[in-house]
Amino acid sequence: MEKQWEVILEDLERNKADNDWVTDETLLAGQTLENRHLLKHFLILEKGTLHLENQNSQILQFFTTGDIVFLSPYDMNVDTQLKLVCDQTAKIVFVDREYFLNFAANKASYMEWLLTSVLSNTSALCFELMKHDLPADERIVYTLQRLCQKTQPVAKEEYYEVPNFLNKTKMAQYGAMSRKNLYNKLEVLEENEQVKQKNEKVFVTTTAI
């Protein structure tokens, strides 16, 4: 069964009068999306994983299949401070904002989808920012749990398997700490059975902190 965003994309593609109104691009892991794409368009992530990071390489938020980024970094005057980086090969669809808003004016369900998606993103970012109030060990568990819940909702044996793309460097950037501190905290968390490490894989408990 098609998801709502897939139906919307098909409808927009079928009815566009200009090829520039709906375009797509594939990014490979490690590539950065040029912010100019978001000047007139918003993006829908058709597949893959992206993350938003600041100029200090701190990871602020992850985006997965079906997520959107609607606001333009230029409108918020952060085009030189924030960037989207690909973690897993991603297919990104760019939709002209004006085209979508005009098209959705007669389709209440489309506008409702947009508002729900934007609110979901805002809420997710707020939860991400809340982690900075937590002690370092709890912050690690919290951030890993949130990412795992977003990428793989089904857990095995009371643990989530952390995605392979989140290596220790990214883990430190996402948890807002140094790699040295991360390694020390992972050892403590492993002793407390909140984290497991096996064959270069990391697993985090499903139990809420």
Residue with tokens 């950065």, as numbered in its chain: 32
Q: What's the pLDDT score for residue 153?
A: 64
Q: What's the pLDDT score for residue 72?
A: 80
**Architecture of the structural domain at 134-205:** Orthogonal Bundle (1.10)
Q: What's the pLDDT score for residue 41?
A: 95
Please list the residue range(s) of the chain that carry CATH number 2.60.120.10: 4-129
Please list the residue range(s) of the chain that carry CATH number 1.10.10.10: 134-205
Per residue in 104-117, pLDDT (tens digit) is 998 999 999 999 99
| Rounded Cα distance, 187 and 182, in Å | 9
Per residue in 24-38, pLDDT (tens digit) is 999 999 999 999 999
Q: pTM for the whole thing?
A: 0.90
Q: Is 53 exposed, middle or buried (0-12, 13-18, 19+ CB in 10 A)?
A: buried
Q: What's the pLDDT score for residue 5?
A: 92
| Rounded Cα distance, 128 and 122, in Å | 10
Residue numbers in the chain where pLDDT is lower than 70? 1-2, 153
**Architecture of the structural domain at 4-129:** Sandwich (2.60)
